[in-house]
Amino acid sequence: MLSLTDVDKVYLTEHEAVQAVSSINLTVVNGEFVSFIGPSGCGKTTVLSMIAGLFKPTSGKILMDNKEITGPTEKTGYMLQEDYLFPWLTIQKNIELGLIITNLYNEQTKKDAMTLLSDLGLADKANAFPSELSGGMRQRAALVRMLAPKPSLLLLDEPFSALDYQTKLKLEDLVFSTLKQQNKTAILVTHDLSEAIAMSDRIFLFSSRPGTIYRVFDVPAEFKDKLPLEVRNDPNFHLFFQTVWKELES
């Protein structure tokens, strides 16, 4: 579904050229959930932003469904650490915004969005404003807004990092099960190794700047059909965690 070939990104300042990432080569297949991990400043979010079409690589190619990504597209949904809900709009109006922007707003897509809002336990919050919701509820609303236009590829940039631990674990399960039910392809950027292991099919470990893909880990098959919280409680979780951690530390 997605391929990056020899992707480089160089940022130019008044005084110097800074290479953020170098020679990124990876593929993601349809329905796969992958994670990017690595030290701060290694270019994980830079790669995610290029995949989203927010800016172009300095060199190399990024293809989705065999077409080069040249800018933002309705095929891609983006979910960030901050929910960025508009405070002056109700939750319903917030989640309909993506449909309006992508010219997909009609009675059927509106109905589908409201059904998804109900599925995520927010049916009674449709007419509430973001300030009336908890952090976890706001992130659920942001998830609905992202999914409403039915994107093929979902980009998740540390969407749980601002939440308390209990809410984070619950939301991981909810997001994971929702994406699997809809057979979505997803890329997660995270600093939480446990989260990457619990949610992913594969993990891409980035080296320090300029970021390159240092190693790719296949998550054990017995983890893949379990919810993230169940994976964390699996007897083999700690062993695999230590394997990845040693590479991350090195």
| Chain segment 173-222, per-residue pLDDT in tens | 888 888 888 888 999 999 999 999 999 999 999 998 788 999 999 999 99
Read off the pLDDT band of 97 (50, 70, 90).
Answer: confident
DSSP string, 23-51: EEEEEE-TT-EEEEE-STTSSHHHHHHHH
CA distances from 157 to 82, 90, 92, 188 (A): 9, 24, 23, 6
Output the pLDDT for position 34. Answer: 95
Task: Specify which residues 211 forms β-bridges with.
Answer: 21
Domains of the chain: 2-75+152-249 (3.40.50.300), 86-151 (no CATH)
The per-residue pLDDT of the chain, averaged, comes to 90
For the segment 60-83, the average pLDDT, to the nearest whole number, is 88
Give, as one character, the DSSP assignment of residue 132.
G
Task: Specify which residues 185 forms β-bridges with.
Answer: 153
Q: Which spans in the chain are helix H?
A: 44-51, 91-101, 107-119, 135-147, 165-181, 193-199, 228-232, 237-249
How crowded is the C-beta side of 66, counted as CA atoms within 13 Å?
A: 0
Quote the CA–CA distance of 23 and 26 in Å, as a whole number.
Answer: 10
pLDDT digits (tens, 9 = 90+) for 36-64: 999 888 889 999 999 999 989 999 999 99
Please say if the pLDDT value at position 244 is more than 90: yes
Other beta carbons less than 10 A from residue 166's beta carbon = 9
Phi, psi dihedrals of residue 63, rounded to the nearest 5°: -115, 135
Structure tokens at 138: 């706001």
Quote the CA–CA distance of 50 and 107 in Å, as a whole number.
Answer: 33
pLDDT digits (tens, 9 = 90+) for 148-187: 888 889 999 988 887 788 888 888 888 888 888 888 899 9
